[in-house]
Structure 1
Amino acid sequence: MGEISILSKNKGQGPHSPRAVETELITGALEILKSIPNLEIKQVHAESGQATYKPDFGFLVRYGQKKFKVAGEVKASGEPSLLRRSAAWLKNLLTKTKHDYAVIIAPFISREGAAICRDLGVGFVDLSGNCLLSVEGLYIERTGHPNKFKKPREIQSLFSPKSSRVIRCLLSDPRRIWTLKGLAIETGVSIGLIHRIATALENNLFAKKELRAFRLEDPARLLEAWREEYYRRAPKWARYVAKVGSVEELVTKLKMAAIHHGVRYALSGPSGASLISPYLTPTMVHFYVDVLKQEFLDEPRVDRVPSEGNLLIRVVEQENEFIGSREVKGIYVVSDLQLYLDLWAMGGRGQEAAEELRRERLQF
């Protein structure tokens, strides 16, 4: 399938550049389609046209006497929230261009992700062997293949409580070049653990060593790996209900109670993000504390509930969530990184808000 080579002729792109990874995904996905009996893949090419309506690539599908012009979009992750946006964009693209059909390509697409694509009328191919093509008399669906791209234990260990202190520091200044000693001093983590983290980062193409120093090579992918692990571990919040008129009133009462009783605190979630930019209209408060005192709870008169509620409290055990917190409009708010993680862990609208925060504040 020599046509694929035209997608990877950009000069100066290394083997692990985003363009090279994209080409690898396209090649693998088209090989899977090529293995389907009676299905031919032709004319694979980079798409031209206005950026607003320009997919990553295009190709021609021949099935018997039928021919279909297909637009393809490549995603490094098959997370449902990302698939929903991409599928909706591709569905709209089909009304603006001469393509007959559109597919999403990703390393792995779950049953939930497959249902999203199916509902929106978009196909998919993943490198684990799952696929869906459904257009004008052609219907091919293969599902149930397990994820071949589960994160190895080495990557998961990068986001343990102690190691994530280092990741947090690196992502707070992603362009900085670090020495191992300098990073150990900055984070308070042993030089031995710093060395193991640096090696794991390099092994997984997140960072690159330069003499006695190293720097992040792909902060965006590192952030995405962290958010997936953070979402999987789903931090537990204790739920409370407070009889107040508004979220703002509750935040003020909690702040005053924390000051009166010597409780360190920081706001997170939509209520924290709303002080920076109105991504979501908060209906509840996410409140980190260093210790949970009964007198602190008594002052704003909050009661523990098994579900629902308008106040979520979490006790910080290793101070990680407090790192980078700052005062915004008189209220302490967690760092942009922590806000991103907590918003993402909410799922749904929270993930949309997290991506807005990422574009406007993190910018990687």
Structure 2
Amino acid sequence: MKIEEKAKNELVALLSAIDAVQITGIEQEPTGVDRGVDFLIDLEHARKKYHLACEVKSNGQPRHIRNAIFQLNHFVRNYSNTAYPVIIAPYLSQRSQDLCRADGCGYVDFVGNVHVKFGSVYIDRKTDETPKSDQRSLRSIFKPKAANILRNLLNDPERRWRVAELSETANASVGHVSEVGQALREREWAAQSKNGLYLTDPDGLLDAWSQEYEQPDGERVELYTHLHGSALINTIEELMADYPEPKIVFGSYTAADWLGPYARAGKTYLYADERGLGALQERLNLQQPLKGPNIEICVPNEDGVLNDVERFGEHVICTSAVQTYLDLTNSGERGREAAEHLRKAKLQWQ
């Protein structure tokens, strides 16, 4: 069944369930003629006539929905004051639904989200269901391989990035950068100018990433050191000073102590490469904990986290505000509170 036919059937079934609504006609757009709508449904309700101007989109991402809203509203203004615009798609994200509501446009999708309001008819339904295809598409944007691309964009949202430049900086293929850029534009988190790709909604992107965030792949170890407090931090800073590159990096709560202090944790959190892990084990005399660990170290499989850092003074190296925020949002309720504090302190965009 074609998507237009399914869309028409969905809307007709919805309207037919209302006793006071009588469908009097359905007019399909003639083949080869683009009037700005796919079909019109004529109906009567409370002795008044209405015309539902319906546009069907196979892609319900915000960029396509915004164009459809403009197109439908133009048609409605020139057709009748009793015409009401309705967009139908397989799935409409919350952002797409919000766009429709803001412009007085009805919508229906195939998973159960509905907002139709004309005359005294009002239907409003919401579902948390997300099609598997859309879930896969969204998650692919936030896979670890794409993380370097997103970090660079979020660290400087207004910067215009050429594909080749972003590819080199993020250590990603040109094709992958293009795919991620297209996905971001589809969701209106980014736009393309003549000078390159840039973010238009960094907050929306960060919100979505935090919900789909996967911690960097790699080894995680929890160990114990007899050092505590300033003695522990000073020793780690000395180790950081010994490395020409940032291969030992404060992360999570420990990074947040420098970036946007909020809540102290019982552990010291670190990222390190293999060499850094060895140095930490030796200098801190790390041992298997008999009771509770006080050091947690992640050795990521790729260097993106270790290279995306902020420095304090000569030797202190922390994960970037973006990476620290993501780690905190995925470390329980206390972590989410610390993450929001950090966001207010370090991740405010115009």
In structure 2, the partner of 1:218 is 201
Report % sequence identity: 22
Match of 2:56 in 1: none
| TM superposition shift of 1:255 | 3.1
Return the alpha-carbon distance in structure 1 between the equivalents of residues 264 and 104 of structure 2: 38
Which AA in structure 2 matches 1:187? A
CA distance change for structure 1 residues 167 and 18 in 2, over 3 Å: closer, same or farther? Answer: farther
Displacement of 1:159 in angstroms is: 1.9
Q: Output the amino acid matched with 1:362.
A: L
CA 1:322–1:157: 2 relative to 1, 3 Å: same
Please tell me whether the aligned partners of residues 28 and 127 of structure 1 are also in contact (alpha carbons under 8 angstroms).
no
The question of whether the paired residues in 2 share the 8 Å contact of 1:239 and 1:306 is answered with: no
**Stretches of structure 1 lacking an aligned partner (at least 5 in a row):** 1-13, 36-41, 45-124, 129-145
Indicate if the aligned counterparts of 2:280 and 2:286 stay in contact, CA closer than 8 A.
no
Choose between structure 1 and 2 for higher RCO, CA contacts under 8 A separated by at least 6 residues. Answer: 2
Gaps spanning 5+ residues in structure 2: where?
1-65, 70-94
Paired with 2:182 and 2:262, the residues of 1 have a C-alpha distance of: 37
Q: Among residues 189, 192, 204, which one is paired with 2:172 in the alignment? A: 189
Q: Alignment partner for residue 256 of structure 1, among 229, 238, 241? A: 238
Shift of 1:258: 5.1
- Counterpart amino acid of 1:127? K
For 1:1-364, what aligned pairs fall within 5 Å after superposition? 20=99, 23=102, 127-128=126-127, 147-148=129-130, 151-211=134-194, 213-230=196-213, 237-246=220-229, 248-257=230-239, 259=241, 264-292=247-275, 293-294=277-278, 296-305=280-289, 308-329=292-313, 330-364=315-349
Give how far 1:27 is off: 7.8
> How big is the shift at 1:205?
2.7
The residue type equivalent to 1:158 in the other structure is: I
Deviation at 1:315, TM superposition (A): 0.8
Conserved? CA contact 2:115–2:125, under 8 Å:
no
Aligned-residue offset at 1:221: 1.5
Q: Deviations over 1:222-253 (max 9, x none)?
A: 1112112225889863111112332x322222
Closer, same or farther: CA 278–154 of 1 in aligned 2, 3 Å: same
Separation in 2, partners of 1:349, 1:213: 39
Deviation at 1:211, TM superposition (A): 4.8
Question: Is this contact kept in 1: 2:311–2:318, CA < 8 A?
Answer: yes
Separation (CA, whole Å) in 1 of partners of 2:235 and 2:182: 46
Matched letter for residue 161 of structure 2? W
Q: TM-score, normalised by structure 1?
A: 0.57
Cα offset for 1:349? 1.1
Question: CA, structure 1 residues 315+236, in 2 after alignment: closer, same or farther (shift >3 Å)?
Answer: closer
Take 2:214 and 2:104, find their aligned partners in 1: how far apart are those partners? 25
| Aligned-residue CA RMSD (Å) | 4.0
The answer as to whether partners of 1:239 and 1:311 remain within 8 angstroms in 2 is yes
Task: State how far apart, in whole Å, the 1-side matches of 2:125 and 2:220 are.
Answer: 35
For 2:292 and 2:215, how far apart are their aligned partners in 1?
21
Deviation for aligned residue 1:284: 1.2
1:237–1:314: 8 Å Cα contact kept in structure 2?
Answer: yes
Please give the TM-score of this superposition, normalised by the length of structure 2.
0.59
